[in-house]
Amino acid sequence: MSRRILKIFIFVLGLVGMGVCSIPVFAEDTPAMMAEGNKAPAGMDDEMMAKMKEYGTPNENHKVLEYFIGSWMHTVKWWMSPDAPPEVSSGSTEVKSILGGRFIEQTAIGTSMGQPFEGRGIIGYDNVKKEYNSIWIDSMATGMMTATATYDAATKTMTEKGTASCPINGEIFFRNEIKIVDDNTYTYEMYTNDKSGKGFKMMEITYKRQ
């Protein structure tokens, strides 16, 4: 490689590096730049800046998630099929607010099918899509459960719809109902279809605040 080509190559790498390094700096400085009274950065007009601020600011929809923050004991019932007896287990769940109240993170510890179980979930509200989004991973699977949800304030019920991997049936579709019963109790119910396509309740979890 000639020296001239080598110099050009190094110059291009430098530009790429500067671009990559600028991303976290911009992300870190964005809240300050969007604060009231600050001017929009180069390439962003006031309207764009206002939209960015609205998109990144928690609102009343995020307040709904604050209910779940804390320590819980949970009891799980789940059915492999509509006619099968449920497996019953119990455990503990910790929920905390993360990223400035934009999301909550759930960590569950317990047992499943006689084995130690650990699960992690994140729920947030997307200000652009106007919907709740969630993701769930656990020690019994290598796939991720993903869902979108709406919240009915009148019934204090969040209804999720999503997909998950199943080692028996491949991809499955599910519907979840998360219902706030009182200040210290909420329930989670998961519905899916059996092999014939008929819907049934696959899981039921009752949470009690500690």
- pLDDT tens, 6-36? 343 333 334 334 343 433 333 444 455 455 5
Cβ atoms of 190 and 167 closer than 8 Å: no
Q: Model's pTM, two decimal places?
A: 0.78
> Domain tally for the chain?
2
- pLDDT tens, 84-137? 899 999 999 999 999 999 999 999 999 988 899 999 999 999 999 999 999 999
Kind plus residue range of the DSSP H or E element containing 56: helix 46-56
Domain of residue 200, CATH code: 2.40.128.20
Q: How far apart are CA 110 and CA 118, in angstroms?
A: 6
Pair (97, 185) in one structural domain: yes
- pLDDT tens, 39-83? 666 777 888 888 899 999 999 999 999 999 999 999 999 998 888
Can you list the pairs that 128-131 forms with residues at least 24 positions away whose Cβ atoms lie under 8 Å?
128/55
Pair (50, 130) in one structural domain: no
- pLDDT tens, 165-175? 888 778 889 99
What is the predicted pLDDT for the residue at 37? 54
Which domain range does residue 13 map to?
A: 3-57
Give the chain's mean pLDDT.
84
